[in-house]
Amino acid sequence: MEIEGSRVLVAGATGVLGGHISRALSAGGARLVLAGRDEDSLEDLASETGAAATLVFDALDNESCAAVVARAARELGGLDALVIAFGVVAFGAEADTEDSVAEHVFQVNALAPMAMLRAALAELEPGGSVAVITAVTAEYPTAGMATYSASKAALSAWLQASRAEYRRKKVTVLDIRAPHMDTGLAHRAVAGAPPRLPEPFPVEELVEAVVNALGSGARQLAFDPRERELRVR
């Protein structure tokens, strides 16, 4: 997908990764609609990036997730890409994990993105892309993060199984299995305290790789924990 002139919805734009990706896409000449749950933060980022519009959704409400995709396409006169950059983490032993926490994590990390991605099938133009931040834990499920790992693996499996449907629409699916980064996500956990986490991967490197992968039509960005590098597949 050509970034210059593309029409992109960034969902979760007010997060650390969402903000960096929005700025990088804007610098590359994309026209953006920024979506999130905090109107003031969205407005601030919109004035920084020259975004065409801001839209509010809550990942706890699937209808609002589907609705922002259709509204973004109307605002931009069509949609070339959907970037999903929202999510939550939870930590702790499963014996101590409340059902309500597991439901929250699966709703935000799997069901809400799936609702948006289903809506996107009807809106994305041929030649377009979806780029979805899952996590390295989709491939390497991690102790102390079992619920989070499973929610990301669920989303990753959904992306893989839906790839053929997107291909029929000539839309590329990019699964971003991001490594641990120092974005503060762990300190905003919906439950528990983080286990010992690996050395954080540089955010700028991940963002650059995401924009390059979108531009080149890559299908997966995976992290090799031994070599500590991103692999484009």
Q: Which residues bind ligand NAP (CB under 6 A)?
A: 12, 14-18, 36-38, 58-60, 85-89, 108, 133, 135, 178, 180-181, 183, 185, 188
Contact predicate 117/132, CB 8 Å: yes
CA distance linking residue 33 with residue 78, whole number of Å: 11
Q: CB of 69: closest distance to ligand NAP in angstroms?
A: 14
Q: Which is nearer to ligand NAP, 68 or 171 (CB)?
A: 68
Min dist. Cβ of residue 170 to ligand NAP (A): 26
Residue closest to ligand NAP when measured from CB atoms: 87
Contact 109, 152 (CB under 8 A): yes
Distance of closest approach, residue 78 Cβ to ligand NAP, in angstroms: 24
State how far the Cα of 31 lies from the Cα of 205, in Å rounded to an integer. Answer: 22
Closest CB to ligand NAP among 23 and 169?
A: 23
Closer to ligand NAP by CB, 2 or 229: give it.
229
Minimum distance between the CB of residue 197 and ligand NAP, rounded to whole angstroms? 8
Cβ proximity of 195 and 214 under 8 Å:
no
Task: Characterize 68-93 residue by residue with b for buried, 16 or more Cβ atoms within 10 angstroms of its Cβ, and e for exposed.
Answer: bbebbbebbeebbbbbbbbbbbbbbe
Query: Between 33 and 59, whose beta carbon lies closer to ligand NAP?
Result: 59
Tell me if residue 175 falls in helix, strand or coil: strand
CB of 56 to ligand NAP, least distance (A): 9
